[in-house]
A and B are shown apart, each in its own frame.
Chain A
Amino acid sequence: MSRPAAADVVSLFNDNPSWAPGFQAAGSRLRPLSGFRLAPRAVPNVSNYQQIVRMSAQTGSTTDLIKWWNGYRLRDIARAGILADVTDAWDEAARRGWSDDTALRSTFTYEGKQYGVPLYKSYYVVFYSRPAFKRLGVDVPTTWQQFLDVVDAAHAKGITPISSGGATSWESLIWFQQLVNGLDHRFYQELTAGRASYTDDVCRRAMALWSDLYRRGAFSAPDAQTTDLPAQFTQGTTAMCLYGTWNTGAFLDNGVKDADLGAFLLPPPPGGARSVIVESGVLAVSANAHKLDAAHAVARAWLNPSVQTAWSGFLRDTSADPGVVPNVGTVRQVAAQVRRERPTQAIRYWEASPPVLIEGNVQELSAFMINPTRAQATKTLTNMQHRADKEWKVWTS
């Protein structure tokens, strides 16, 4: 039998059941600020989750708050009219000094309004095994050449330099986005906005660099799984992995000690400039929410440092509020480097263009990882541009 929700509760739909304790911790901080706490409901399968949101958000069965993805994935449903405008929450966060991140804000924007607040803000960094680095006698690289030296040193000692999966998953985009954005941040933005071509010089150079790294023996087999990584770091059989800081908790929960785990921003390739890929989840308000005012109140209070401290402490990841950093050595190291170097930020490729274009291009990149030759790179980029030509027309029609 279903019971009516408590008066001080707003429902939150998400795709990660393991986040429930974190939402409850954040909810207990939200209660005195907004008058409401959170009641999370989760569907663990991402595809199923998206179906349910798309269908239920048009009806009275929707939850008050919805977890979603930023960039074009957010625009995709915002333009369908199923989300509420939460521009006031961003204005309040900026006014109070919690977060005034215009680059991030633009990825939550559709037609000048914001349709969600940032659930977290992860950076794509190179995780490394400190014991492996110690055994190799290398330090954290600060230049591309030093990075190549670490790769060569690991390869020479039979240690897998970089774990890089993606043969059959979204992870194939990680090195593509890193190299294109690292070579030319402005070009990456133009490319993902549909104003530059995948067959342009920057993309070709990025693919050549990726191919060269493969030839150098830098990468694991392309069907490597991230779930195996903590054990490999502990055993010292793998030295590095480029991944989102949201994976820090998975390392720590699976046997890697905080003291043995390190992370750094990958130095830019020759001719490039320091830039970092950023990923952010979205906390959106459903336009058909039963408790619309309550959901807006929660969205306005979400970036309050008290709430963010509880939430990012649970996630062990960085927050959209740069002043809130969880007490985890690896994350603090990343936050400190970002504060120090102030790299330009680019949205993750997964959210950077229309979803159908990205999904197809990610499959092209997966196929490239199986056969990472220069010839295959040319074919891959040509296919990606063909898809871009087609899907941008569909998106704007």
Chain B
Amino acid sequence: MDVLTPADPAASRTRPRRSHALVHDPRSERRRAAVWVGAFLTPAVALILLLLLAPFLITAWRSLFDDNGVTARFVGLSNYIALFSDPDFGRSLLNTVLWVVGTLVLPVLLGLLLAVLTHSVRWGAAARTAVVIPYALSGSATALLWTFLLKTDGAVNQTLNAVGLGGLQQEWLLHWPMNTLVMIVATTWQATGASLILFLIGLQTIPSETIEAARLDGAQGFQLFLRVILPQLRPMTVVVVGMSIVNSLKTFDIVWLLTQGGPGTASETLALTMYRQTFTLNRYGYGAAVSVVLTVVVVAASWLYLRRQVQQRSGEGV
């Protein structure tokens, strides 16, 4: 590559100095590019620093205090020690794990299944609409509906009684782990629509040639799905599973509205424990400690999952 340098007197004479430096000095070009990239990145980075990192650091700092909202006293790591020796925290962690597993198994698999089944059939649109409509409802509306269904004198038990299946009546929301499981079912009813839409988009990006080629090679039915369609849905699966993990780790609204984390603390998730400690018991330091633990869990889970996926995809590329 023919590079002009300031040491070239001929070039200095025949071209304006400024233009020469702009066009041909690679260091200057890199600097300019860096400035441009920085300019584009700055708003996003500033927002993340301002709205995510700064609150996290403030919360982490507050977790070192015994703070009742009026007075605060530095206690070091006492809140964390109390947290990890609290049996309620263990239950809360277990419930959160149940939510992660439950929402991975049910809404993601159901969304995938329904997307594949309804993708290329005539009645597919009607079926898809029926599944997607609950997704349009707010979490609060969903919780109210399911409270009406699941409370002890609610619609489910009354229906069971009316059709002669009174023996199957249950106190659905009052016993652990059944209350957590039925709330996962309620969330599945609402969240499957989102997975379905994303998987449908994924299905539409699969080139028809690969399907036809597979068919010509004799692949069909489950084999076609497992060996041809599913691998090509991988990018979308990464997104759906990643979103599902993060959403389930921060589960709050439906549990709060259906059981308030009870009876006792039986159905609490980490997000509810954080809320109860902070806003009900006015233990701001302790609640901040739960927030920090929850943040670490969410970031660690997302990072581990995405890192693994990205590495696999890089490996595939090589």
A47 CB within 8 Å of chain B: yes
A369's nearest neighbour on chain B, judged by CB, is B263
Q: Within 8 Å CB of A367, what residues of B?
A: 262-264, 266
| A167 and B70 contacting across the interface, CB-CB below 8 Å | no
Given A168-B259, A224-B153, A54 and B266 contact (CB-CB distance below 8 Å)? no
Smallest Cβ-Cβ distance to A380: which chain B residue: B264
B160 lies within 8 A of chain A by Cβ: no
Q: Are A80 and B260 in contact (CB under 8 A)?
A: no
Q: Contact string, B51-85, partner A, CB cutoff 8 A, digits 1/0?
A: 00000000000000000111100000000000000
Contacts of A369 in B (CB 8 A): 263
Asked if residues B70 and A168 are in contact (CB atoms below 8 Å), the reply is no
Question: Once bound together, how far apart are the Cα atoms of A38 and B69, in whole Å?
Answer: 27
Interface residue? B173 (CB, 8 A): yes
User: CB within 8 A of B171: which of A47, A51, A359, A370?
Assistant: A370
Chain A contacts with B in 44-95, Cβ cutoff 8 A? 47-48, 50-51, 54-55, 57-58, 76-77, 80, 82
B309 at the interface (CB under 8 A from A): no
Query: Please, which residues of chain A bring their CB within 8 A of the CB of B266?
Result: 367
Does B128 touch A at the CB level, under 8 Å?
no
Tell me whether B153 and A169 are in contact (CB under 8 A). Answer: no
Q: Are A80 and B151 in contact (CB-based, < 8 A)? A: no
Binds A, one of B117-125, B217-225, B275-283: B275-283
Contact partner of B70 (CB less than 8 A), chosen from A77, A225, A356, is: A77
Q: Contacts A221-B171, A223-B171, A367-B264 given: A54-B281 contact, CB under 8 Å? A: no
Check if B116 is an interface residue, CB within 8 A of chain A: no
Contact A54 B70 (CB under 8 A): yes
**What residues of chain A lie closer than 8 Å to B68, measured between beta carbons?**
54, 76, 80
Q: Give the total of A residues in contact with B, Cβ under 8 Å.
A: 30
A167 and B153: CB pair below 8 A?
A: no
Residues of A within 8 A of B71 (CB): 80
Q: Would you call A355 an interface residue if the criterion is a C-beta within 8 Å of the partner chain's C-beta atoms? A: yes
A220 to B262, CA, bound (A): 18
Contact, CB under 8 Å: A47 / B262: no
A363 at the interface (CB under 8 A from B): yes
Closest-by-CB residue of B relative to A232 is B153
Q: Which residue from B70, B153, B279, B281 sits with its C-beta under 8 Å from A221?
A: B153
Contact call A366/B263, Cβ cutoff below 8 A: yes
Q: A364 contacts the other chain (Cβ, under 8 Å)?
A: yes
Q: Is B152 among interface residues, defined by CB-CB distance under 8 A?
A: yes
CA gap between A356 and B261 in the complex, in Å: 17
Q: Which of B173, B263, B266, B283 has the most CB of A within 10 A?
A: B263
B262 near A221 (CB under 8 angstroms)? no
Residues of B279-297 contacting chain A, CB below 8 A: 279-283
Q: Which listed residue, A77, A225, A355, A363, touches B262 by the CB 8 Å rule?
A: A363
CB of A262 within 8 A of chain B?
no
Interface contact A221-B152, CB-CB below 8 Å:
yes
Bound form: Cα–Cα A26–B189 in Å: 49
* A370 with B69: CB separation less than 8 A: no
Say whether, besides A167-B262, A223-B174, A363-B262, A80 and B281 are in contact (CB < 8 Å).
no
Contact check: which of B69, B153, B260 meets A168 at CB < 8 Å? B260
Answer yes or no: B175 CB below 8 A from chain A CBs: yes
> Which residues in window 134-179 of B have CB below 8 A to A?
151-153, 171, 173-175
User: Complex: how many Å from CA A221 to CA B172?
Assistant: 11
- Which chain B residues in 249-272 approach chain A with CB under 8 Å? 259-266
Chain A residues in 8 Å Cβ range of B280: 47, 359
Nearest chain A residue, comparing its CB with the CB of B262? A168
Interface flag for A267 (CB, 8 Å) = no
Contact A366 B152 (CB under 8 A): no
Q: In the docked arrangement, what's the CA distance between A192 and B174, Å?
A: 28
Q: A161 within 8 Å of B by Cβ?
A: no
Interface centre among B69, B173, B283 (most CB of A within 10 A): B69
A residues less than 8 Å from B152 (CB atoms) = 221-224
Q: Give chain A residues whose Cβ lies under 8 Å from the Cβ of B281.
A: 355-356, 359
CB-defined contacts of A47 to chain B, threshold 8 Å: 279-280
| Contacting residues, chain B, for A364 (C-beta < 8 A) | 264
Interface contact A223-B173, CB-CB below 8 Å: yes
Say whether A167 contacts B279, CB under 8 Å: no
Residue of A nearest to B157 (CB): A221
Measured CB to CB, the closest approach of chain B to A238, in angstroms, equals 11
User: In the complex the two chains form, what is the Cα distance from A359 to B279 in whole Å?
Assistant: 12
A381 to chain B, nearest CB (A): 14
Query: Is there contact, CB below 8 Å, between B70 and A222?
Result: no
CB contact under 8 A between A363 and B70, given known A47-B279, A51-B279, A223-B171: no
Interface string of B29-47 (1 = CB under 8 A from A): 0000000000000000000
Contacts A221-B171, A359-B281 given; indicate if A80 touches B70 (C-beta within 8 A).
yes
Distance of A366 Cα from B173 Cα, bound (Å): 13
A170: shortest Cβ distance to chain B, in Å? 10
Question: Per a CB cutoff under 8 Å, which of A82, A168, A220 touches B263?
Answer: A168
Within 8 A of B (CB), among A166-208: 167-169
Instruction: Decide if A169 touches B174 in the complex (CB within 8 Å).
Output: no
Q: Determine if B70 and A370 form an interchain contact, defined as CB atoms under 8 angstroms apart.
A: no
Which chain A residues lie closer than 8 Å to B264 at the CB level? 363-364, 366-367
With A50-B282, A223-B152, A363-B264 in contact, is A167–B69 under 8 Å at CB?
Answer: no
* Chain A window 333-357, contacts with chain B (Cβ cutoff 8 Å), 1 for yes, 0 for no: 0000000000000000000000110
Within the complex, the shortest CB–CB distance from A279 to chain B, in Å, comes to 19
Identity of the chain A residue whose Cβ is nearest the Cβ of B70 in the assembled complex = A80
Chain B residues with Cβ under 8 A from A80's Cβ?
A: 68, 70-71
Residue with the highest number of chain B CB atoms closer than 10 Å, among A76, A77, A225, A370: A370
A68 smallest CB distance to B (angstroms): 13
Contacting residues, chain A, for B263 (C-beta < 8 A): 167-168, 222, 363, 366-367, 369-370
- Across the interface, name the chain B residue whose C-beta is closest to A54: B69
Can you give 23 contacting A-B residue pairs, CB < 8 Å? Answer: A50-B69, A50-B282, A51-B279, A54-B282, A58-B70, A80-B68, A167-B174, A167-B263, A168-B261, A168-B262, A221-B174, A222-B152, A222-B171, A223-B151, A223-B173, A224-B153, A355-B281, A356-B281, A359-B280, A363-B262, A363-B264, A366-B264, A369-B263
The 5 nearest A-B residue pairs measured at CB? A221-B152, A367-B264, A54-B69, A80-B70, A168-B262
* Contacts A224-B153, A356-B281, A359-B280 known; 13 new A-B pairs at CB < 8 A: A47-B279, A47-B280, A48-B279, A76-B68, A80-B71, A168-B173, A223-B151, A223-B171, A223-B173, A356-B282, A359-B281, A364-B264, A367-B264
